[in-house]
């Protein structure tokens, strides 16, 4: 069994072995089955307490086990863990289908839902009832027996396919290395990049330097390497992951996932999968999303084209005879940025030591919300590189514990790429006892070298802020029910707490506290800081359009009305055509590595990143108006957004904080698109 005997009932990772997971899943599933059977067989009149609440509580142990296992599968996986994931996923899918397709149980849920106006329920209880009922309906409860069997088949296969997509992507990412032994090939690379590549080579018992497709290595090489052919080689390797017609190819998996999602949507009475998903989003309909994406594109594309032309002119001025390609953009854009603003990552990284950035973020949380984050060494961890903390509320005379926090900073083979926040325990109340969340932040930051500590790029600093915003959404949750707490909100609302945090990364008042040279201890010079802030919007139009292109691609896959059987690369080329500035690259495909929508939970929801930017820019304008460290404004954000989870509709919560609906003006102004 999986032990939760660490302090604060943390996962006892020091006692967990891979062989424990399957027996633990079987036991938890059986326990939940028995509890649900009691709900169904209860002869009492169905009530909120004996049905809706009882159902919520019946799943808690299983849901916690799922969090533990699938988080490990993302952050510290292995072939054995991946095999267990493939084995248990269809079992879990079948189990949850057994709940929502149970005719007697749904009859009880519907009976309560139909009487909801006569019940004396709190706002949160009303929301739990509504979400429970809709979950049954949206997962096939109203289908006939034949259609229910089809629904089971579809969801079972989808669970397996998404896992396979992620496994293939991780394997392909890990499989590629660029091994260099010639000093000339290192031209243009800063010393910190070269040293990291040398350490990577030594870890593989190789001479020379090794570059990988992990973010810190890949992005640094693309930005600084003078050797254009090697940049192209690395770009093609990254952009063709799972697109090689081999056993790791994701093309058929994508087509099958899209077809199954469409089939499921049709089964439930929707024209497209996007229509099914967006019913439970702030945007509400595919039409609204497409209007939003095109409106944003209309504002951003002229700016992006101007930036593209400016970079071409710069290349000509530098005497380079080439056609601007995708592997040239980061390289020449960085050179132009340095020329225009006299600023570069190489100049700023010494001021962004990870330890200092961590402390600066902790201090910021203290200033805004009165939280104290204390390092502890008695919490078991799943990898030696993970650090643990207690988050306490210093506003409380007793310094109430708000959360456990795990920080996992550096890349390794068993970890997926990117950065994310997750939980090992969701905040919830059980018999009036408040169970505080166990929150984890996982990154792929630049590792320390033999001569330097971990030094962050400015983008990595913003990533840290972003993910910490997600963490705060869980840490400050004050909800009764697991399924409504923390980040269990609409997908196009969940990015508001994360993206609003990034704004402090553009504020001189905060950066001046964080940016301290790791060798000299001196603060970043005011002139350099000013240049860094001014350069933030450099090529913002291009970045804006690139993000929109992902949203268009996502919506195209999930707006299908017939299964697509053609080439995946051709499909995405057409979907993203309105956003493209570059010629297509033969042999490359974005979709086969688009884990957000085919492996993660952002299907028909990637637009939400841009929608959340509208929210965060509008919300942060209130901080700008009242002072970026204003405790009263922060307290309002905490009470009306962060603590409420999904207990009310997001727009209700937002309007309660802001006093009105969001306006796009703040985003356009911040992005200099207005």
3 state DSSP class of 194: helix
How many CB atoms are located within 10 Å of the residue 566 CB? 9
Alpha carbon of 49 to those of 39, 118, 128, 483, 484: distances in Å? 10, 15, 11, 16, 16
Rg, C-alpha atoms of the chain: 25
C-alpha 42/C-alpha 627 separation (Å) is 56
Q: Which residue has the tokens 């017939």?
A: 562
C-alpha pair distances (Å), 405 with each of 4, 388, 441, 581, 628:
16, 6, 8, 42, 25
What's the rounded Cα separation, in Å, for the pair 243 and 249? 5
Give a three-class secondary structure readout of 413-424.
CCCCCCCEEEEE
Largest Cα span, the chain? 84
Which residue has 């930051």 as its token pair? 445
Residue 604's region, left for phi above 0, alpha for psi from -120 to 50, else beta, is: left
Alpha-carbon 422 to chain mean position: 9
131 tagged catalytic:
no
Buried b (16+ CB within 10 A) or exposed e, 345-379: bbebbbbbbbebbbebbbebbebbbbbbbeeeeeb
Q: Are the beta carbons of 420 and 467 closer than 8 angstroms?
A: yes
d(CA 75, CA 441): 10
How far apart are alpha carbons 17 and 32 in whole angstroms?
23
* Residue 421: φ, ψ to 5°: -110, 140
Task: Indicate the length of the chain as a whole number.
Answer: 674
DSSP string, 28-39: HHHHHHHHHHHH
From the candidates 166, 460, 467, 506, give the one annotated as an active-site residue: 467
Which stretches of 342-486 are DSSP H helices?
345-348, 354-369, 458-475
> Which CA distances in Å does 650 have to 91, 127, 282, 340, 615?
33, 12, 7, 41, 11
Rounded distance between C-alpha atoms, residue 597 and residue 610, angstroms: 15
Catalytic residue ranges: 467
């Amino acid at each position: 069994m999986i032990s939760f005997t660490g302090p604060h009932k943390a996962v006892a990772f020091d006692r967990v072995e891979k062989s424990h997971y399957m027996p633990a899943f079987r036991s938890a599933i059986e326990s939940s089955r028995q509890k649900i059977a009691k709900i169904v067989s209860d002869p009492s009149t169905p009530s909120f307490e004996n049905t809706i609440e009882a159902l919520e509580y019946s799943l808690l142990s299983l849901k916690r086990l799922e969090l533990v296992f699938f988080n490990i599968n993302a952050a510290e996986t292995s072939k054995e863990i991946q095999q267990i994931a493939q084995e248990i996923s269809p079992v879990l899918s079948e189990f949850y289908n057994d709940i929502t397709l149970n005719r007697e149980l749904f009859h009880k849920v519907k009976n309560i839902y139909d009487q909801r106006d006569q019940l004396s329920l709190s706002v949160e209880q009303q929301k739990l009832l509504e979400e429970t009922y809709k979950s049954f309906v949206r997962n096939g409860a109203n289908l006939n027996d034949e259609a229910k069997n089809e629904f089971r088949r579809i969801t079972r296969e989808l669970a397996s396919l998404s896992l396979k997509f992620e496994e293939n992507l991780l394997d392909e990412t890990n499989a590629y290395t660029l091994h260099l032994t010639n000093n000339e090939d290192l031209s243009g690379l800063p010393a910190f990049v070269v040293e990291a590549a040398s350490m990577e080579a030594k870890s593989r018992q190789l001479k020379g330097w090794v570059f990988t497709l992990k973010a810190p290595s890949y992005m640094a090489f693309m930005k600084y390497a003078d050797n254009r052919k090697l940049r192209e080689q690395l770009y093609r390797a990254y952009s063709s992951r799972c697109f090689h017609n081999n056993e790791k190819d994701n093309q058929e998996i994508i087509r099958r996932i899209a077809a199954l999602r469409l089939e499921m949507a049709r089964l439930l009475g929707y024209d497209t999968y996007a229509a099914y998903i967006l019913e439970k989003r702030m945007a509400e309909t595919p039409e609204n999303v497409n209007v939003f994406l095109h409106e944003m594109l209309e504002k951003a594309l002229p700016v992006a084209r101007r930036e593209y032309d400016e970079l071409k002119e710069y290349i000509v001025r530098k005497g380079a005879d080439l056609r601007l390609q995708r592997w040239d953009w980061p390289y020449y854009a960085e050179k132009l940025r340095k020329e225009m603003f006299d600023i570069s990552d190489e100049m700023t990284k010494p001021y962004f030591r990870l330890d200092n950035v961590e402390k600066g973020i902790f201090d910021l949380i203290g200033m805004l919300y009165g939280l104290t984050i204390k390092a502890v060494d008695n919490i078991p961890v799943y990898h030696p590189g993970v650090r643990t903390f207690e988050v306490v509320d210093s506003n409380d005379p007793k310094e109430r514990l708000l959360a456990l926090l795990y920080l996992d900073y550096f890349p390794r083979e068993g970890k997926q790429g990117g950065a994310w926040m997750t939980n090992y325990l969701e905040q919830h109340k059980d018999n009036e006892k408040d169970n505080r969340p166990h929150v984890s932040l996982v990154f792929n930051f630049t590792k320390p070298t033999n001569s330097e500590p971990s030094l962050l790029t400015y983008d990595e600093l913003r990533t840290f802020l972003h993910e910490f915003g997600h963490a705060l959404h869980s840490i400050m949750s004050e909800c009764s029910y697991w399924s409504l707490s923390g980040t269990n909100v609409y997908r196009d609302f969940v990015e508001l707490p994360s993206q609003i945090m990034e704004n402090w990364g553009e504020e001189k008042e905060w950066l001046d506290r964080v940016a301290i040279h790791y060798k000299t201890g001196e603060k970043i010079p005011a002139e350099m800081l000013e240049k860094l802030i001014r350069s933030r919007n450099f090529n913002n139009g291009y970045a804006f359009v690139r993000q929109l292109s992902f949203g268009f691609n996502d919506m195209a896959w999930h707006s299908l009305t017939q299964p697509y059987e053609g080439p995946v690369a051709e499909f995405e080329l057409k979907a993203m055509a309105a956003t493209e500035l570059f010629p297509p690259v033969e042999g490359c495909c974005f979709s086969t590595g688009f884990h957000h929508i085919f492996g993660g939970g952002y299907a028909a929801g990637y637009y939400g990143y841009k929608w959340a930017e509208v929210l965060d820019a509008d919300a942060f304008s209130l901080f700008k108006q009242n002072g970026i460290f204003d405790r009263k404004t922060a307290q309002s954000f905490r009470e009306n957004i962060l603590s409420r989870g999904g207990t009310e509709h997001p727009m209700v919560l937002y309007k309660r904080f802001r006093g009105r609906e969001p306006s796009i003006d703040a985003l356009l102004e911040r992005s200099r698109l207005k």
